[in-house]
Amino acid sequence: MHNCLIVDKLHDSIFQLMENIGVQVDYQPEITRAEILAIIPKYTGIIIRSKTTIDQEFLEHAQLLEWVGRAGAGLDQLDVEALEKRKIQIVNAPDGNCDALAEHTLGLMLSVLNKIGLGDQQIRQGVWDREANRGYELGVMTVGIIGYGFMGKAVCKRLKSFGCRVIGYDKYLKNYTDEYIKEESLETLLGESDLISLHIPLTDETMGMVDRPFIDNCGRPFFLINTARGEIVNLNALNEGLSSGKVLGAGLDVLENEKISTWNEEEIKTMNLLQSFSQVIMTPHVGGWTFESYQKINRVLTDKIAHVIKN
């Protein structure tokens, strides 16, 4: 009998789904890392969302572990190299929340371009200023998509209906031009995009990728959308870009440090400046966080776990 420790809150459907594939579940969403390390030796599988990292210390305790399930897309909390060395299977669910994230990404694009946040704030304050809220049309723009995996492609499918030109850069894909996107170099994408949307994982390569040189290398003032990982965008560089006008606006679903209570003085200063720009809209990392994706992630995960167990 396979057994699995679940350390984050998941939709209740996970219990029946796991039972259907013959996996006994120990559901402990309130567990601490110390408690996880104490009991993980007896489990063959674990499902996490964001509670803890699966690193070398963790693996030293997990002698029976055969697979790790990530209830979402990103693998930045997993030491992938160490897991592969131990021949522990990694299961994630980018196809479980890509539709949710794509819709949220389009929502941020339209909100930033049409100044929806500013208009709402002004009306609540008794201000009716149509000219200050004049927007831009997405359909006439060149949109640059960085990363053409599940998320990037889901966004591009939705962009097609707007009629905009969509170009893409993905370091690890080749010859992926299709009806939704045209493959280009990063240099071309930066030079020609009116709006840039990020759909890449957080890795050593992408950490701080959107920095001062990145913004300087953009050929024209542009809008930035980040629904990937906050650490990909250097917020000080973004603030400079917003101040200079090189960045026309930004829609951010993720931040460098999402634990607000831990912000130090420098981070507070940075965030205060960012919040002062009316052309910036922020949401609390909910891009893939819909009622529908909450259940769909479970279905995708259990299907993949069943395949791992079978093979």
Residues acting as catalytic residues: 229, 258, 285
Residue 102: name the closest of 50, 182, 47, 162 by CA. Answer: 162
Question: 251, 281 in Cβ contact below 8 A?
Answer: yes
Residues 53/32, Cβ–Cβ less than 8 Å? no
Alpha-carbon distance of 94 to 48, in angstroms, equals 14
Contact 210, 144 (CB under 8 A): no
Residue 15 sits at φ, ψ, to 5 deg, of -65, -50
For residue 119, what are the CA distances in angstroms to 124, 203, 276? 9, 37, 15
Taking the C-alpha atoms of residue 13 and residue 300, their distance in angstroms, rounded to an integer, is: 12
